[in-house]
Structure 1
Amino acid sequence: MDPKDEIKAKLDIVAVIGEYLELKPAGMHGFRALCPFHAEKSASFHVSSDRQIFHCFGCGEGGDIFTFVQKMEGMDFPEVLMHLGQKAGVEIKRFSTTEGNTKQRLMGIHELATSFYKKVLSSSSGSHVAREYLANRGITSELIDRFEIGFAPDDWSMLSDALLKRGFSEAELVQAGLSIKKKSGIGVLDRFRARIMIPLRDQHGNTVGFTGRQLPGADSNMGKYVNSPETLIYHKGRLVYGLDLAKRAIKDHKCLIIMEGNLDVVASNKIGVQHVVASSGTALTQEQLELIKRYTDTVVFCFDRDAAGLTAAKKGVTIARSLSFDVRAISLPTDVKDPDDLVQKNPEVWKKLSNESIPFMQYLFDRTLFSRDISNVDHKRLISQELLPAISEISDVVEREHWLAKLASLLNIDLAILRTAIHPKLEKSVIKTNTNSVHPIKLGKKDQVLLVLIGSILNDELNRDYVRKQLELTVIDHEQIANLYKFLEETYTSDIETAKTKSFFAKARNLLQSDPSKETLLSLLDQSSLIAEQQFENLSPASCLTQLNTLFETLHATDRQSKRSILAQKLRQAEDAGDVEAVNKLLSELN
């Protein structure tokens, strides 16, 4: 069996999509959810367990299990094939492209490096200081295993030598960011030495880089933290630390807590608060938040209490709002510097706070007003300078007015004056979608009836021939629907044996999917199949036939009405032109 077909046979599209979205039953074989590819408030995203396809009636996105994961994860097809193959237990041959092979080689290097660092931490006599440091921070062996924490030995080339023996080249080790060329140009040295090694893993759990944490007492000039350089597989602004382990908890809590440091995430996991990730000490990027958007619409910021932490949080909030996130925050006690510090001092308080987030604007009000005197005019000015820009970013007019009124009341200033001081961005933010997306096709009443009938040809082998005989190409005005019907007729007559079975849908879909120029027809095919599935669900064979006849009556009545409207328009034009012969001819046709 072809690996793609084997994966489809082993993985249910409902289960896979259910890992990303909250699906709700819609009929016997259907599920619906809010579409992840465009902003919406009413669920127009449908998944069929029977057809093993999805389609959004709002934005037009649709396809099979591979299409969905490609769009959600931003993967190319070979990558998604490898990813789903691993999930399904189907062996897939390595990429045939040069870049694909290079990526796999770099992934392999990082996988071996992770194992190497873990082994050094657990067994080397030179790592006892690292083990003591982790133990003193309460990082247990279970946490070390969960996050695959290791130790880079205080040696010039131990890792490089080990990887070279495994068949990797010096150039590959440098390209992976784990080795650096000697000044002489001959040979390589380890980039990380005498550091606690924290693997940086993508959302699938693949190690793509490392953060090396200096041991206490080491030379401060060497930097407390050293990160892998950007490589073909590691992009700092795209990776969200801890997301691979947080996905299940995010789904349970319906939100995600974003912190600054990787060790904040480790500490939080120690006490069971697992819906946490870190920005790895940098300001959040749009790419990171777009990745997070695949898993939740609510983000909770919990950055360090210092000024840099607040600045980083405010930048992240600006981007998060532009992506239509519900933005909240956790306010740490004044006697702790970060979540890690709080977990060490009072873990129960962190457990409690992790479930008690507040709107980010409330958090910003509290931080800004802290130690300020609102009766002092200079303090008033500073407060307004900090809060007004943040309020102006709020696109929802009700929420914006709420915080503006609150600020006016606190400062004892007329609300109208504050309104004139801000220039809110009223444009509604829209999530970026693939520029190659299939846009929904505008359909009239007649076209919608046609799609149901064509869907019944795809889905219902009992009435397939009946519908084909009744449905004439001449009544189809819509060019793309006509093209789809012609394609189905050609597919039917080319293999009548398959056309008589339930496999007809799969064959037609595979043929369209194999031809990139037929993307619009593929979208229409999925749409018609899902509409028909909903229309005829739970109906007996006799009731199905009755419904089909009703649809044909509607189709012919609509067709007659459409033709009369066209004739009436032509008649008016002939009358205006004074063309008596044309008028008489059109009147006879109308009658």
Structure 2
Amino acid sequence: MKIIPRKGKRISVLADSNKVVEEIRQRINIVDVIKDVVSLNKKGKNHLGLCPFHTEKTPSFNVNEEKGFFYCFGCQESGDVFTFLMKYNNNSFYETLLDLGKRVGVEVKSSYQKDHEDQYYFLIDIYKEAARIFQDTLIRSKLGSPGLHYLSKRYINDNSLNKFMLGYAPEEWTHLHHHLSQANYSIESQIKSELVKSKNKNYYDNFRHRVIFPIVDESHRIVAFGGRVLDDSQPKYLNSPENYYFKKREILYGLNLAKQAIKDEGKAIIVEGYFDVIMAHQMGIENVVAPLGTGLTQRHIQKLKRYTDKMVLVFDGDPAGEKAMIRGLTHTLKADIETLVVTLSDGMDPCDYLLNNGSESFIEMVNQAKPALDYRIEWGYHQMPDGNDFHKRQYLNDLYSFLNALDSEVQKEEGLKKAAILLKISDRGIQKDYMNFLNKGRSKKVVQKEPTDSNTPDPKLSPKAITERYLIFTLLNHLEFFLNYKNRILSMGLEDSFSQQLFNTMTDVFSEKEKLGVQDLHLILEVLDEEDKALVSQELLDGKYQAEPIQQIQDCFKRLKLHEIRPEQVSISRKITEAQRENTVDLDELLEERQFLANEENKLKQREKATWKD
């Protein structure tokens, strides 16, 4: 059986490499680049257009020329000019660098391809070695016998073990750590890769007593791992954290092996799990892929559209599987890709079905799949406990919300007609009811919008936490002031955990910087996870942070001081009440302290900005 070969030493980065990137970044205008493929209109400090990464009718794609980044409020895609072209053209970083270098007259040396990605490329290198160790353990070591026994019970044959590079992480705490160290991988790279964890100066493996599934991208690079326990303990599945190469909402398991078959068969079959994909391939059905625990996303669909214009969804026949399928239907119906749905028996997954019924029956079932719109309408109908008016109204409201999210008027009309047939009501009646639903929704939106402004705080946050976020986001929008106020924030600390984490990230990333500016913003965005990057990107596009930044920062500090004074005032008032009741000698001193705090509060309030509200 073929084992993944061991490769040589890691690549080291040249000091000049980052200078090339920064030179191009400073010369390039992100708006000019994106305008080549997206029609943009200036709106305030931003440029607005239809997002190229998902289907939409109302523009939600924003580009900020000054800060050099883009963000879509519809699909949450974000990044700088390099990220945009890599996603849009499906190019590597090096290919993108060459294109932009030619555009602005910066020479990119051929050696750069080898050393520009060192800060990320070590992941590809160490993951490849880890996969070799996991597979070697499964196949050649006695330690791998529990994994082999489990896979044998799941009817996975030797060819599939090799094809999908399956491995095993034994119960030992330091098995992988020991082997990686022997292969000259530093402890720093082991920890950064999240393959090894550290606690109290002790190191231990992240994956233990699990069958290992290497996760491979379209370029055949191992970018992450999935691990499944051999019993029913939790968590059943464990995935590597997201990294530069691995984004769950973009990667499809098995696509590297399935893409040619998808082209040949004219359709992609989407299943739910690792074993579903492996068993389908094992039985000769190779146009099968699976998302990695996220449900089907717009990025998944965009990738599949490179190979086909038809998808068949075959998820597990249990409530969780149905919900996963329902979540993905809005994306597929909006993406202009023919989508069909297969419903399995209760409790059965595609792997079970293939083992019990064989590949021919599975293919026949796929060929008889139901259109996604029909499935969605019928699914909601069958969720009704009975046909009384209350449950009908619930069903219709849910259906109307779903249809309203679609872009196609034809799909909306078809959906209403199908629902009318199920409910035995007239087309005219359901059309009128749908319009009433939309009109009510619009009137509610108008009522909600009137009292809202851009400075309205999140009701879940305390007043102090709101102020802290405003302070950190103001500094992020004006990095040139960050170093001036860093030590002051360090000395006082932050109550809001998100603000503290973002501040810590900024402090770490800029630790060696003597001067900061908008050109350094990308350094923060590059290290944030997708969720945090989406939140930060929204705040970077918000105009409320732009006017008089120094005054806003100073007002934030004053506001935070007020939040400190008020608890002290409450405490002093309580002590005064006790002193008056007990006639103690402390009363005069307490009254003086209360007056001092009141004077301090009044001074701060006089300088307080009108935009802040109690």
TM range (shorter): 0.5 to 0.7
Question: Match of 2:311, SS?
Answer: strand
* Residues 361 and 374 of structure 1, relative CA distance in 2, 3 Å threshold: farther
Task: After TM superposition, give the deviation of residue 231 of structure 1 in Å.
Answer: 2.2
* Residues 161 and 312 of structure 1, relative CA distance in 2, 3 Å threshold: same
**Structure 1 counterpart of 2:418, one-letter code:** K
**Structure 1 counterpart of 2:139, one-letter code:** S
Q: TM-score, normalised by structure 2?
A: 0.52
Task: After TM superposition, give the deviation of residue 356 of structure 1 in Å.
Answer: 2.5
Question: Match of 1:324, SS?
Answer: coil
Q: Aligned equivalents of 1:141 and 1:72: distance in 2?
A: 37
Question: Match of 1:193, SS?
Answer: coil
**Structure 2 counterpart of 1:251, one-letter code:** K
Which residue of structure 1 lines up, in the alignment, with residue 196 of structure 2? Answer: 179
* Residues 154 and 309 of structure 1, relative CA distance in 2, 3 Å threshold: same
Q: Is the 8 A contact 2:270 2:313 kept in 1?
A: yes
1:233 aligned to 2:245? yes
Match of 2:290 among 257, 278, 292: 278
Question: Match of 2:231, SS?
Answer: coil
Match of 1:208 among 223, 226, 237: 223
Task: After TM superposition, give the deviation of residue 225 of structure 1 in Å.
Answer: 1.0
1:341 aligned to 2:356? no
Q: Aligned equivalents of 2:363 and 2:397: distance in 1?
A: 34
1:416-455 aligned at under 5 Å gives the runs: 416-422=428-434
Q: Is the 8 A contact 2:54 2:335 kept in 1?
A: no
Question: Match of 2:414, SS?
Answer: helix
1:194 aligned to 2:206? no
Q: Is the 8 A contact 1:237 1:287 kept in 2?
A: yes
Match of 1:164 among 167, 173, 181: 181
Match of 1:406 among 409, 418, 421: 418
Identity %: 30
Q: Aligned equivalents of 1:256 and 1:241: distance in 2?
A: 12
* Residues 94 and 210 of structure 1, relative CA distance in 2, 3 Å threshold: farther
When structure 1 is superposed on structure 2, of 227-236 and 413-422 the one drifting more is 413-422
- CA offsets, 1:325-382, max 9 Å, x none? 22221122x2443212212221242222223322102222343344757754444334
Match of 2:113 among 86, 91, 95: 95
Q: TM-score, normalised by structure 1?
A: 0.54
1:534-553 aligned at under 5 Å gives the runs: none
Task: After TM superposition, give the deviation of residue 243 of structure 1 in Å.
Answer: 0.8
**Structure 1 counterpart of 2:312, one-letter code:** V
When structure 1 is superposed on structure 2, of 338-347 and 376-385 the one drifting more is 376-385
Which residue of structure 1 lines up, in the alignment, with residue 138 of structure 2? Answer: 121
**Structure 2 counterpart of 1:175, one-letter code:** K
Question: Match of 2:113, SS?
Answer: coil
1:393-542 aligned at under 5 Å gives the runs: 393-422=405-434
Task: After TM superposition, give the deviation of residue 196 of structure 1 in Å.
Answer: 0.2
* Residues 72 and 142 of structure 1, relative CA distance in 2, 3 Å threshold: farther
- CA offsets, 1:82-104, max 9 Å, x none? xxxxxxxxxx8573555x02332
Segments of 5+ residues of structure 1 without an aligned counterpart are: 1-35, 40-66, 82-91, 426-591
Q: Aligned equivalents of 2:404 and 2:348: distance in 1?
A: 29
1:381 aligned to 2:393? yes
Q: Aligned equivalents of 2:134 and 2:156: distance in 1?
A: 16
Q: Is the 8 A contact 1:95 1:101 kept in 2?
A: no
Task: After TM superposition, give the deviation of residue 293 of structure 1 in Å.
Answer: 2.5
Q: Aligned equivalents of 1:79 and 1:114: distance in 2?
A: 29
Q: Is the 8 A contact 2:215 2:225 kept in 1?
A: yes
Which residue of structure 2 lines up, in the alignment, with residue 293 of structure 1? Answer: 305
* Residues 37 and 412 of structure 1, relative CA distance in 2, 3 Å threshold: closer
Q: Is the 8 A contact 2:318 2:347 kept in 1?
A: no
Question: Match of 1:274, SS?
Answer: coil
Task: After TM superposition, give the deviation of residue 295 of structure 1 in Å.
Answer: 2.1
* Residues 71 and 387 of structure 1, relative CA distance in 2, 3 Å threshold: closer
Q: Is the 8 A contact 1:69 1:80 kept in 2?
A: no
Q: Aligned equivalents of 1:73 and 1:268: distance in 2?
A: 28
Which residue of structure 2 lines up, in the alignment, with residue 133 of structure 1? Answer: 150
1:111 aligned to 2:128? yes
Task: After TM superposition, give the deviation of residue 111 of structure 1 in Å.
Answer: 0.7
Q: Aligned equivalents of 2:245 and 2:53: distance in 1?
A: 25
Q: Aligned equivalents of 1:180 and 1:191: distance in 2?
A: 6
Question: Match of 2:374, SS?
Answer: helix
Task: After TM superposition, give the deviation of residue 210 of structure 1 in Å.
Answer: 0.6
* Residues 149 and 96 of structure 1, relative CA distance in 2, 3 Å threshold: closer
Question: Match of 1:401, SS?
Answer: helix
Task: After TM superposition, give the deviation of residue 134 of structure 1 in Å.
Answer: 0.9
Match of 1:224 among 229, 236, 242: 236
* Residues 216 and 169 of structure 1, relative CA distance in 2, 3 Å threshold: same
Q: Aligned equivalents of 1:184 and 1:68: distance in 2?
A: 43
Q: Is the 8 A contact 1:177 1:231 kept in 2?
A: no
Which residue of structure 2 lines up, in the alignment, with residue 485 of structure 1? Answer: none
Q: Is the 8 A contact 1:246 1:275 kept in 2?
A: yes
When structure 1 is superposed on structure 2, of 103-112 and 296-305 the one drifting more is 296-305
Q: Aligned equivalents of 1:130 and 1:162: distance in 2?
A: 19
Task: After TM superposition, give the deviation of residue 311 of structure 1 in Å.
Answer: 2.5
Which residue of structure 1 lines up, in the alignment, with residue 502 of structure 2? Answer: none
- CA offsets, 1:193-249, max 9 Å, x none? 1110001111122111111100126xx2x4211111122332222211111111011
Match of 2:166 among 149, 162, 166: 149
Task: After TM superposition, give the deviation of residue 143 of structure 1 in Å.
Answer: 0.8
Q: Is the 8 A contact 1:273 1:354 kept in 2?
A: no
Which residue of structure 2 lines up, in the alignment, with residue 567 of structure 1? Answer: none
1:351-362 aligned at under 5 Å gives the runs: 351-362=363-374
- CA offsets, 1:127-178, max 9 Å, x none? 2222122112111011111111110122111211221222221111111121
**Structure 2 counterpart of 1:190, one-letter code:** D
* Residues 373 and 165 of structure 1, relative CA distance in 2, 3 Å threshold: closer
Q: Aligned equivalents of 1:230 and 1:69: distance in 2?
A: 18
Q: Aligned equivalents of 1:154 and 1:37: distance in 2?
A: 43
Which residue of structure 1 lines up, in the alignment, with residue 260 of structure 2? Answer: 248
Q: Is the 8 A contact 1:389 1:422 kept in 2?
A: no
- Number of residue pairs the alignment of both structures matches: 346
Q: Aligned equivalents of 2:266 and 2:178: distance in 1?
A: 46
Q: Aligned equivalents of 2:207 and 2:282: distance in 1?
A: 26
Which residue of structure 2 lines up, in the alignment, with residue 262 of structure 1? Answer: 274
Q: Is the 8 A contact 1:283 1:316 kept in 2?
A: yes
Task: After TM superposition, give the deviation of residue 393 of structure 1 in Å.
Answer: 3.6
- CA offsets, 1:403-446, max 9 Å, x none? 31121122122323322343699xxxxxxxxxxxxxxxxxxxxx
Q: Is the 8 A contact 2:127 2:222 kept in 1?
A: yes
Task: After TM superposition, give the deviation of residue 383 of structure 1 in Å.
Answer: 3.6
Structure showing greater radius of gyration is 1
**Structure 2 counterpart of 1:324, one-letter code:** D
